[in-house]
Structure 1
Amino acid sequence: MVVENRVAKPSLSYVILISVVAAIGGFLFGFDTAVINGAVAAIQGGFGATSTQIGFAVSSALLGSAVGAFFAGQFADRYGRVKSMMVASGLFLISAIGSGLASGIIDFSVWRLLGGVAVGAASVIAPAYIAEVAPAHLRGRLGSLQQLAIVVGIFVALVCDYFIAVAAGSAASPFWFGVTAWRWMFWTEVPPALLYGIGAFLIPESPRYLVAQGNETQAARVLAKVEGGDVERKVADIRLTVIRERKPRLSDLLSRSGGLLAIVWIGIGLSIFQQFVGINVIFYYSSVLWRSVGFSEADSLWITVITSVTNIVTTLIAIAFVDKFGRKPLLLLGSVGMFLTLGTMATVFANAPLDAAGNPNLVGTSGLVALLAANLYVFCFGFSWGPIVWVLLGEMFNNKIRGAALSVAAAMQWIANFMVSTTFPVILKNFGLGSAYGLYTIAAAISFFFVFMLVRETKGKQLEEM
């Protein structure tokens, strides 16, 4: 197909707008995973669930996320990034409504599993789409919008939980129209889910996907708006990297020797270490954690809100510097910071005296030290491993394998998330918080050497150079 040769001027506002719409998936990602934080105790009490059942209810969303992430790339390569966003929007909507209507722990877990599928899909689609529409010199900052949206979603979910619980008296008390407060916590996800679907309907398809489908004229129109320059040359460059005689499939990720390509293993490693440093323990169990060391329900939720604000601020720092300093330096600095702060928390909790119930009793300055260390840890994660991993996963794979490779890496991220989240209560009960944070400290140390030895800088490179 012939593309008219022209030199176009890009529209920065347009690029930002469509990237923000794609990042709403990240907002829902964060919102959906964090909204259960303030509802766990009320759900367990309301349904008379055992600790095992409530643990599975929390982690079922993570299993769904692994499934959603694994298949999202193939779906997006076959049907497009935009249609994939629309499907994810519908799943978010159905899950939010169903979770609030659940009549027992089993159907609640099913609705959470469905929401997890949507989260997994969003975790793949948004970084791929943003990487494919963003100019090279802005790709790091725009790619970081995914993580910013995630942490904003976490923040909004926690704020909603906090104010609903305070207004009702507790998450287990009646709220509007006599409906239990925790049900309203899940229904607050309905408006952003609808907004995501509407926004996806209005934005253009990825130019890389359009070229792969042979629609070069439409791809040129999109490229003219988002990148500018010599559009014909850009389309030709993309064409060379997406030429294929068949639809992409997972076998494209295999090397000639039969194993996964080295770049795919690196993506998997980044995903696993992002979770093995224990970040989601802070967001999934923080209110339970802080209550276990003596804080009230309201104070525990408020501390969690403060922690999420810290995450937002540091993600903004990452957006400001990722295209200046590069991806690798920020990851290395973050690993060092997480090692020090996690080590501090491990030491504090390991040496804390226990109360009659066997919970650590942080007396004197130890409670303040733990609180500061936790927030500094989130600070270190927030400017490094939080956003930078998503940026790298969106850009480090070549055009032929991006969708499939991102799916595998993101699926492994959710499996790692599941492992950390489900083992934390067991470690907490049998070995204590000190041991849990000690394991995450070791993971932070190993992550430094992983990045130093294996990760290559991608700052300023075109996707066609990957």
Structure 2
Amino acid sequence: MSTDKQTTARIPKRVIWLALAGAVGGFLFGFDSSVVNGAVDAMKDEFALSEAVTGFAVAVALLGCAAGAYLAGKVADRYGRIPAMKLGALLFFVSALGTGFAFSVWDLIFWRLVGGLGIGLASVIAPAYISEISPRHVRGRLASLQQLAITTGIFAALLSDALFATSAGGAHQAFWLGIEAWRWMFLAAAVPAVLYGVISYTLPESPRFLVVQGKEDLARKVFDSIAPDEDTDRHLREIREAIEEDQLAGLKGSLRGKSFGLQAVVWIGITLSVLQQFVGINVIFYYSTTLWKAVGFQEKDSLAISVATSVTNILVTLVAIALVDRIGRRPILLAGSVGMAVSLGAMALAFASATGTGSDITLPGAWGPVALVAANVFVISFGASWGPLVWVLLGEIFPARIRARALGLAAAAQWIANFAITLSFPVMAAGSLPLTYAMYALFAAASFFFVMYKVPETNGMSLEQAETLFVPKGSVKV
């Protein structure tokens, strides 16, 4: 089948539904990780927190994310993708209630950590599940739904934050039932958590997981239901051959290899994940309200800017979904790296002109609009490339027998990198915002060369074919 025919082929409605349902975890991922944005200052005042403790309270969820991502691979490989989804939904739900009713900073930190475990689970299970149920010719588009769901979750969180804060007259003001608005921001996450739990009971197990478990009859039924026009026997044969190849190579489901203790493909996944975070994208979302207040905007203006930024992220993710299966992964990633490096460099120049010290700074003249435009160009560049496509690649480069665990390790590395950036930003920003953004620009430039020399094109291939591109020369092949 030609590439043109592949990209225009009809996608079975059931596949679209399963991909959307699986991506609800991504929505919770985005919502739970960004809802803290509008509550940061109110939390700081409520519990009289220092800058360091505030940064830790925001970033601690990311440690939970790293642990959750690592454990998700083990849970998913042992019990299945669907049980892992159900566990994630439960963690999201109890975290929303616990954080909303926190009575001390340590209580707050504990429930943020629990929520992080849920986010970590969702960050692994959603891309793995979507990749494993998607036909090869539309896998890029359907796998990109994970990032679309994340950005939609970010938008929903920032919008709800803005609505609660505006309606109550400020995030620290009492709202419904006499409960402060910032607490309602966290409690709102209970609604999508319940929805995610209900949906997880309606989804079939991943057919590739079923084959690995020796349940080919069940896998055949799932393949026949999600892709009736495709060759089910070929799918099953390719999965069996990939498993046999692993066994002949002596891997037998192990992540271990000769490249610093891990298989080379695992290091590629880890590096993609770390670079995705080291460009500083989450600083825009976690600290955007506080950041824009620091450069002269009021709270309501800053929240509006944050919401507008998240809407932009959603729109450009739709562009990526439209293009990923047409022009491939590499060209989009390379273009995104260039856009990020240039826009981050512009932000570094803008903040170099700032007057004042610490959080009491302003951007004179046209530098304020320059910073705002550059921030949105950065979001566009990231949202159309590295945001969705890293999840696409993580879902398709690993062999079936280690996919969940390798994806879990790569996602754990991503969350640790996210934690490092989030925790370090307040301190680095207080020291020098220009140098901070210049450092992110250097990582964006590094991402260009990494893709150029280490990431092959996987567009239009089955999962089993794509994984062979990352097998070192001289490895055993069937």
* TM tier, smaller: over 0.9
CA distance in 2, matches of 1:250, 1:114: 32
Question: Could you tell me whether the CA contact under 8 Å between 2:89 and 2:194 is conserved in 1?
Answer: yes
Could you list the per-position Cα deviations for residues 33-77 of structure 1 after superposition, in whole angstroms to 9, with x for gaps in the alignment?
000000011111111222222211111100000000011011100
Question: Which residue is equivalent to 2:450?
Answer: 450
Q: Which letter maps to 1:32?
A: D
What are the within-5 Å matches in structure 2 for residues 97-176 of structure 1?
Answer: 97-176=97-176
Aligned to 1:111, what secondary structure does the other structure show? helix
**In the alignment, is residue 230 of structure 1 matched against residue 228 of structure 2?**
no
CA distance in 2, matches of 1:436, 1:324: 36
Assess if the C-alpha contact under 8 Å between 1:314 and 1:383 holds in 2. yes
The 2-side partners of 1:90 and 1:38 are apart by 24
Matched, 1:33 2:33: yes
State the secondary structure of the residue aligned to 1:203: coil
The aligned runs of 1:182-261 (5 Å cut-off) are 182-228=182-228, 229-242=230-243, 252-256=254-258, 259-261=261-263
Partners of 1:308 and 1:256 in 2: CA distance: 41
1:303 alignment partner in structure 2: 305
CA distance in structure 1 between the aligned counterparts of 2:359 and 2:53, rounded to whole angstroms: 22
Contact 2:353 2:367 in 1 (8 A): no
Paired letter, 1:171: A
Give 1:375's aligned residue.
376
The aligned residue for residue 425 of structure 1 is 426
Aligned CA distance change for structure 1 residues 249 and 408 (closer, same or farther; 3 Å): farther
Alpha-carbon deviation of 1:232?
2.5
Using the alignment, how far apart are the partners of 1:428 and 1:29 within structure 2? 26
Residues 269 and 258 (structure 1 numbering): CA distance in 2 closer, same or farther, change over 3 Å? closer
Q: How far 1:256 sits from its partner (Å)?
A: 4.9
Paired residue for 2:281?
279
User: CA–CA distance in 2 between the matches of 1:301 and 1:249?
Assistant: 50
Share of identical aligned residues, percent?
52
Q: Structure 1, residues 67-93: CA drift from partner, whole Å, max 9, x if none?
A: 000110111000000110000000000
Residue 250 to residue 231, structure 1, CA distance change in 2 (3 Å): closer
Structure 1 residues 311 and 45: CA distance shift in structure 2, 3 A: same
Q: Any idea what SS the aligned residue of 2:172 has?
A: coil
Choose 454-463 or 251-260, whichever is displaced more.
251-260
Please, which of 295, 315, 319 is the counterpart of residue 317 of structure 2? 315
SS of match in other structure, 1:31: helix
For these two proteins, the number of residue pairs brought into alignment is 454
Indicate how the Cα distance of structure 1 residues 165 and 336 shifts in structure 2: closer, same or farther if over 3 A, else same: same
Secondary structure at the counterpart of residue 170 of structure 1? coil
1:235 Cα deviation from its structure 2 partner: 1.7
Q: Which position in structure 2 is the counterpart of 1:459?
A: 459
Q: 1:400-457 CA distances to partner (integer Å, 9 max, x unpaired)?
A: 2211110111000000001111111111112x21111011011111110011010011
1:193-246 CA deviation, whole Å, 9 max, x = no partner? 01101111001000001111121111111101222323233223222323588x
Q: Distance in 2 between matches of 1:336 and 1:257?
A: 29
The Cα of 1:167 is off from its aligned counterpart by 0.3
TM-score by length of 1: 0.95
In the alignment, the residues of structure 1 paired with residue 14 and residue 227 of structure 2 have an alpha-carbon distance, to the nearest angstrom, of 10
CA RMSD of aligned residues (A): 1.7
SS in 1 for 2:60: helix
CA distance in 1 between counterparts of 2:447 and 2:86 reads 35
Q: Secondary structure at the match of 1:364?
A: coil
Query: In the TM superposition, what is the alpha-carbon distance from 1:250 to its structure 2 partner?
Result: 10
> Which of 288, 295, 299 is 1:293 aligned to?
295
Q: Measure the CA separation in 1 of the matches of 2:137 and 2:333.
A: 19
Q: Distance in 2 between matches of 1:378 and 1:406?
A: 25
Name the CA distance, whole Å, in 2 between partners of 1:223 and 1:352. 58
Structure 1 letter corresponding to 2:122: A
Secondary structure in 2 matching 1:360? strand
Q: How does 1:400-411 map to 2 (within 5 A)?
A: 400-411=401-412
The answer as to whether partners of 1:250 and 1:404 remain within 8 angstroms in 2 is: no
- 1:313: how far off? 0.5
Q: Please tell me whether the aligned partners of residues 210 and 216 of structure 2 are also in contact (alpha carbons under 8 angstroms).
A: yes
* Aligned-partner Cα distance in 2 for 1:131–1:401: 14
Cross-structure match for 1:80 = 80
Matched residue, 1:45: 45
Provide the residue aligned with 1:338 in structure 2.
Answer: 340
| Equivalent in the alignment of 2:471 | none
C-alpha contact (below 8 Å) 1:25/1:126 kept by paired residues: yes
> What is aligned with 2:475?
none
Cα gap change, 1:252/1:335 in structure 2, threshold over 3 Å: closer, same or farther?
A: same
2:426 aligns to what SS in structure 1? helix
Classify the secondary structure of the residue corresponding to 1:253: coil
- Tell me, yes or no, if the aligned pair for 2:294 and 2:359 is still in contact at 8 Å: no
CA contact (8 A) 2:277 2:421 kept: yes
Report the equivalent of 1:387: 388
Shift of 1:249: 9.8
Q: Alignment partner of 2:254: what SS? A: helix
Matched position secondary structure for 1:202 = coil
SS in 2 for 1:205: coil
Partners of 1:325 and 1:352 lie apart in 2 by: 41
Query: Does the 8 A contact of 1:349 with 1:360 survive in 2?
Result: no
Contact 1:342–1:437, Cα closer than 8 Å, also in 2? yes
Q: Is the 8 A contact 1:267 1:393 kept in 2?
A: yes
1:146 and 1:231 mapped to 2: Cα distance?
A: 25
Aligned with 1:266 (options 264, 268, 273): 268
Deviation for aligned residue 1:168: 0.2
Partner deviation per Cα, 1:284-308 (whole Å, 9 max, x = no partner): 0000000001100110011000000
